[in-house]
Amino acid sequence: MIAVDTNILVHAHRGDSPWHAVATESLRRVADSSWAIPWPCIHEFLAIVTHPKIFDPPTPAQDARSAVTLWLAAPTLRLLAELEGYWDALAALLGKSRVVGPRVHDARIAALCLLHGVDVLWTADRDFSRFAALRTHNPLAR
C-alpha cells in the first residue's frame, strides 16, 4: 500500500503549484489501487492551503474541505489513525532517529505508516529519510 504525504496533496490541489500536473497525475495513478492518507496529513493540508501567509490567495476553507471530501470518497482510500501499539512505534522511531521539535510531526506520520503496514510513503520531503524503516518515493521527481 502507498501512503501520500501532505506535500503531494497540496501540489495536487493548488493549480498554481509548478508540480500541480505531476502531483495530480500521481494521485490519479495511486487511487487505482489501495492507497492511504495519514490523518495528520489531512489536518496539515487544511492548515497549509488555507494559510494566507503561505498562499496568496489562500484556498477558501470550503474548497479545501471539498478536496478532502473528494479524497475520502475514493473507495480505495484507507485513512491511517492511531491504533493500539502506536505509542510504542512512535517512541521507537523517536529514539532511533533522535528527532525532536517540529520533526516529531514527521515521526508521527512515519509511525502511522509503519503501524499500518504501508509499503512506501510518497513525499517530496527529504526529512523522512531519518526513518530508515520507512521506504519513501518522490513522485514529483522525474
For the segment 89-94, the average pLDDT, to the nearest whole number, is 95
106-136 pLDDT tens trace: 999 999 999 999 999 999 999 999 999 999 9
The domain spans of the chain are 2-137
16-71 pLDDT tens trace: 999 999 999 999 999 999 999 999 999 999 999 999 999 999 999 999 999 999 99
Pairing of strands 2-4, 35-38: parallel
1 pLDDT higher than 90: yes
| Cα 119 from chain centre | 14
pLDDT at 9: 98
Q: How far apart are CA 9 and CA 37, in angstroms?
A: 9
Where does 44-122 show beta strands of DSSP type E?
77-80, 120-122
142 pLDDT higher than 90: no
pTM of the predicted structure, to 2 decimals: 0.94
Q: How far apart are CA 63 and CA 121, in angstroms?
A: 25
Tell me: domain 2-137, CATH 3.60.15.10, correct?
Answer: no
What the block records as the C-alpha cell of 124 is 517530496
pLDDT at 102: 87
What the block records as the C-alpha cell of 45 is 493540508
Q: What is the DSSP letter of 33?
A: S
18-27 pLDDT tens trace: 999 999 999 9
Q: How many beta carbons lie within 10 A of that of residue 65, not counting itself? A: 13
